Structure 1
Amino acid sequence: MTDSLIVGAGPVGLTLASELARYGIGVRLIDRAPRATETSKALVVWSRTLELMDRMGCTRAFLEAGLRAQGASIRSGGAILGRPRFDDIASAYNFALMIPQRDTERLLAAHLGTFGVSVEREVELTGFTEAADGVEARLRHADGREETVSTPWLLGCDGAHSTVRHGLGVAFRGEAQGDDWLLADVRLEGAGAPPPDEIATYLHREGPFVIFPIPGGRARIIGTLGRSDPARPRPEPNLADVQALIEQRAGGGFRACDPVWLTNFRINERKVAEYSRGRVFLAGDAAHIHSPAGGQGMNTGMQDAINLAWKLAMVARGGAAATLLDSYGPERSAVGDLVLRNAGRLTDMATLSHPAAQAARNAALRFLLGFHAVRDKIAATMGETEIAYPASPLSRGPGAGARWDPGDDDGPPPGAGREPRFLLYAADRARGAGLAARFPRLLDPDPRTSPDPSRLFLVRPDGYRGLSAQAAAWDEAETYLRGLAPGGP
């Protein structure tokens, strides 16, 4: 029996496998594809994901491989309507790290390899059967060999066409946005190209046009092509199509050359209502897909994985009650709803077709983006530092569920420990050590100094506030921990 079986070795599956392995949970990670992603696909790693990578222990490799975009511009008719900057994101990583998905997968696979785990390629999940104490999964290998695997946990990170989701019979509700879009990874030459550290959005009467910088002097271009017609699929684009969009939407002044990827795509917006059933869990695109506007998709999926991993590890190792896992679905479903809503609004705003609506949009953007507070809000939303779990069953007290600011640590973030534990921040560290001794599987043995002497905090392994209480509320802290411990209160 394997401790856990993860289906799908994209960024989400690799993140989940790495975190479970870091916590000492045995992992098998399978993928039916013969090789890892070879195209750029998802491009952006945002601030909050980089902070969580600090806990994983792999941020440095990503920083060395990526390009730091310092801000964005919103343009129309040769004018710049506004320039949100990422510098004021309240994080050490106050930028958008541009890195092709093929490199993200390569770096995560290398990180996973440090725990002695590798991806099993050309292995396909063909079905599974659930039981009270585990899951029996049926696998098919490239040579046709069939295998049956018993595992306590089946974890579906297998994308929009998830076999795990289909096996659960969970509805994937939503709809397709009505336009065809062009995608091109190219080089840009000419003085009129946007700065190489900026995400540039051009709003045009025929539709939006966006340029994302990519490491190595390349750029990703996407733009609408018009309404989709299922009866008449568009031919694959060529470089002339890309240049025509540059001339029409961005006013020319630069040219595209040296393409490495040209394709069309459509936007789907779908989400499950349930992220888990029994011992089967969904994460990433298996649970939610949405517009690429804002670049939130891969980040949301990786944060699904990080949220699930520490909870699963605590339960699997006997350090917490199984009810801890009940918080995964509500927490991440709420985030999925938020990301879907924000990405959909951005797409709807950018694709307005009526001239009067476009003019009103541009005027409103020019006005609003003149305010520093509005620009900061946009940057914080994109950087995902405002993601929180206020309604979670794990959140108690004022401000509970909010991100714990890494700047409030008086020590390094938890590294490659073999067990996830809560961290206690309190003024009375001696009393805190006594509390930790009573809950050695739940609480780190070394309390830290609270940044607010009047408050006591219990911070989750994923860096969010679980309990926020008065400094002397030791009974409240003990009750909180007892509610998580095996056997309950």
Structure 2
Amino acid sequence: MNAPAEIPVLVVGAGPTGLTAALELSRLGVPVRIVDRAAAASPESRALAVQARTLELLRVRGVGTEMLPLGNKAGAAALYAGGRKLAPIELHRMASDFNYILMLAQSETERLLAERIECQGVKVERGVEVTAVRGLADHAEVTLRSSGGSEESVRAAYVIAADGPHSTLRKSLGLQFPGRTLPHNYVLADLHVDGDIAQDQVSIFLARNGFIALFPMGEGRFRVMATDPDEVAGQMGEPTVEHIQLLYDRVAHIPARLHSMNWSSRFRINSRHMKTLRSGRVFFGGDAAHVHSPAGGQGMNLGIQDMINLTWKLAMVLDGRAKPELLDTYSSERLPVIRKLIRFTEIGTRIFNSTNVLVHAIRIRIAPKALGRNRIQNTAASMFGQLSADYRGGEFGAGDRVPDVDGLYDALDLSALTLFTDDGAALDVARRWDGVVSTRADRGGGWLLVRPDGYLAAAGDAGDVRALERLLERWFVAPV
């Protein structure tokens, strides 16, 4: 084994989470390597839903707009039971330009991200796995083994573990992954559906003996997810199209023929998350840090947003503009978001999965009444789109999502904090923190400090810049 190679950041795992980390770090000028044990990218769609918040963040990073013509937009999620439509969840209510769920195969999301990072000078190193990791005070030492058997020692200032639910890095460091496996059996498939099933909404059919959800991928193709409490699809092997048809026919009232299946699988739901997203020089994100029910199509988006939170902080610490303590806010900010989402998906899973006669009767009666209220519709839509996620109560600043209106995100400095103001006192502070803070004209009378990830850091009235100065002094390094 040769002398250790040195790199500021090593990313382990080339799914959407790891690719987003490499995308952001390379864009910010941080030398990065990204490795993945798989010899090639997976052709399967797996994660499907790209939510509004993810699209907002990726658009200004050169990827989101390219996704739109490749995916299929769903503006609602409709619930059916007893041969009738109960109510829709009106996703078009989301306060975003992307007021829908974009149905796009994960393989396409990964391809777009990989192509973008290649344009930024980084290529995924495939067939390379981690065999050992050792965390030291000022770096991490990682042993990599290629598919040909050769080994390499890498000395990295920081490591990002995005290597999935069976994370080698998490296990090597002896870290726990607490949670539970939910008791229900599921099947998943991508196939074509001939029938009067809407192509612009998610259709969810509820019954006493389970549920089936159809996610429209465009041109008659659907992702189908169904619970199988009676093991209609058996216990072994991949479910056949005939199995899926049986599950559909016993729950859905709209006649349809299922055919031309691309792939299928059976699974149980794990609901788990780490108690901290950091172990010394190693940060965890995506499925390596949290797994949960696929209800609502939230998982991939959560991992992408993990990295949007982490990478700007990492870049500013590495180039000396921020104090190392800033990196601790990654875990403290993201964990409450993760815990809330896991609770949300578990509740939804329990409601949809129940085969109890009483529970089924209650959900049929309650759903139309609840979803007939504007407040509940608005809340549900915002949660689905991950627009309601915030960092309030955290150590770093205000934490509210700043809406991307009137081209605001196009005005952000994605490598530093952006101060929107015309206030002289605030502008004087910004000049003293040049390189940490960029300024943009704003005639609102006060000032707004916005993070590169589109969340509010601080705000104040004209002339009152004490909160601005305190935040900068707490987390950042003033230029000499």
Please tell me the residue identity of whatever aligns with 1:436. A
Out of 224, 229, 241, the position equivalent to 1:226 is: 229
CA contact (8 A) 1:178 1:227 kept: no
Match of 1:249, SS? coil
Is residue 2:399 matched to residue 1:401? yes
1:128 aligns with 2:128: no
Match of 1:294 in 2: 296
1:433 shift after superposition? 3.5
- Counting aligned pairs with the same residue, the percent is 36
Amino acid at match of 2:404: P
Work out whether residues 432 and 478 of structure 2, in 8 Å CA contact, stay in contact via their aligned partners in 1: no
Q: Does 1:208 align with 2:217?
A: no
1:476 maps to: 467
Q: RMSD value over aligned CA atoms?
A: 1.8
Decide whether aligned partners of structure 1 residues 124 and 289 sit closer, same or farther in structure 2, where only a CA change above 3 A counts: same
| Contact persistence 1:321–1:486 (CA under 8 A) | yes
Report which stretch shifted further, 324-333 or 461-470.
461-470
* Shift, 1:235, TM fit: 3.5
- Note the 1:452-471 alignment, pairs <5 A: 452-453=444-445, 455-471=446-462
Task: Report the CA distance between 1:217 and its aligned residue.
Answer: 3.0
User: Given that residues 410 and 448 in structure 1 are in contact (C-alpha distance below 8 angstroms), is that contact kept between their aligned partners in structure 2?
Assistant: no
Q: Is it true that 1:303 corresponds to 2:298 in the alignment?
A: no
Q: Secondary structure at the match of 1:338?
A: helix
Q: Does 1:442 align with 2:436?
A: yes
Task: Check 1:49–1:327 CA distance in 2 against 1; reply closer, same or farther (3 A cut).
Answer: same
Q: Which runs of 5+ in 2 are unaligned?
A: 1-5
Q: Give the secondary-structure state (helix, strand or coil) at the position aligned to 2:182.
A: strand
Matches within 5 A, 1:71-470: 71-190=76-195, 193-226=196-229, 233-395=235-397, 400-407=398-405, 412-414=410-412, 420-428=415-423, 430-444=424-438, 446-449=439-442, 452-453=444-445, 455-470=446-461
**SS in structure 2 opposite 1:4?**
strand
Contact 1:423 1:448 in 2 (8 A): no
Q: What is the CA–CA distance in structure 2 between the aligned matches of 1:471 and 1:86, rounded to whole Å? A: 37
Contact 1:74 1:80 in 2 (8 A): yes
SS at the partner of 2:163? coil
Residue 42 of structure 2 corresponds to 37
* Residue 369 of structure 1, CA deviation: 1.3
3-state SS in 2 of match to 1:486: coil
TM-score norm. by structure 2 comes to: 0.95
- Which blocks of at least 5 consecutive residues in structure 1 are unaligned? none
What per-residue deviation string (whole Å, max 9, x for no partner) do you get for residues 293-335 of structure 1?
0111000000001101001001011110001001000111111
Alpha-carbon distance in 2 for matches of 1:334, 1:45: 21
Give the C-alpha shift of residue 440 in structure 1: 1.4
Cα deviation for residue 408 of structure 1 reads 5.8
Figure out how many residues of one structure are paired with residues of the other and give that number: 473
8 Å Cα contact 1:456-1:472 kept in structure 2: no
CA contact (8 A) 1:432 1:447 kept: no
Single out whichever of 77-86 and 465-474 deviates more from structure 2.
465-474
**In structure 2, what is the Cα distance between the partners aligned to 1:241 and 1:459?**
51
Q: In the superposition, relative to structure 1, how do residues 244 and 252 fare at CA in structure 2: closer, same or farther (>3 Å)? A: farther
Aligned equivalents of 1:246 and 1:304: distance in 2?
Answer: 35
Secondary structure of the 1:226 match is coil
Q: Which runs of 4+ in 1 moved over 4 A?
A: 408-411
Following the alignment from structure 1 to structure 2, what is the Cα–Cα distance between the partners of residues 319 and 216? 49
Q: Would you say the 8 A contact 1:423–1:443 is kept in 2?
A: yes
Cα 1:218–1:389 change in 2 (3 A) is: same
TM-score normalised by length of structure 1: 0.93
Q: Look up the equivalent residue of 1:449 and give its one-letter code.
A: D
CA deviations on 1:201-249 (whole Å, 9 max, x unpaired) are 1111011110001134310111111178xxx943421111111122111
Return the offset for 1:487: 7.8
CA contact (8 A) 1:246 1:255 kept: no
Per the alignment, residue 68 of structure 1 pairs with 73
What CA deviation, in whole Å up to 9, does each residue of 1:56-100 have, x standing for no partner? 121111112111111110110111110112212100111111100
**In structure 2, distance between residues paired with 1:471 and 1:323:** 29
1:399-419 CA distance string (max 9 Å, x none) = x2110111165572437x6xx
Matched position secondary structure for 2:185: strand
| Partner Cα separation in structure 2 for residue 410 and residue 237 of structure 1 | 47
- Tell me if the contact between 2:60 and 2:410 (Cα under 8 Å) persists in the aligned partners: no
Question: What CA distance in whole angstroms lies between the structure 2 residues aligned with 1:410 and 1:159?
Answer: 34
Deviation, structure 1 residue 353: 1.9
Letter in 2 for 1:480: L
Alignment correspondent of 1:52: 57
Counterpart Cα distance in 1 of 2:459 and 2:173: 37
* Alpha-carbon distance in 2 for matches of 1:411, 1:386: 18
C-alpha displacement of 1:441: 2.5
How far off its partner does 1:266 sit?
A: 1.1
Equivalent AA in structure 2 for residue 479 of structure 1: R
> Which string of whole-angstrom CA distances, capped at 9 and with x for unpartnered residues, describes residues 277-306 of structure 1?
111100000000000001110000000011
Is this contact kept in 1: 2:436–2:476, CA < 8 A?
Answer: yes
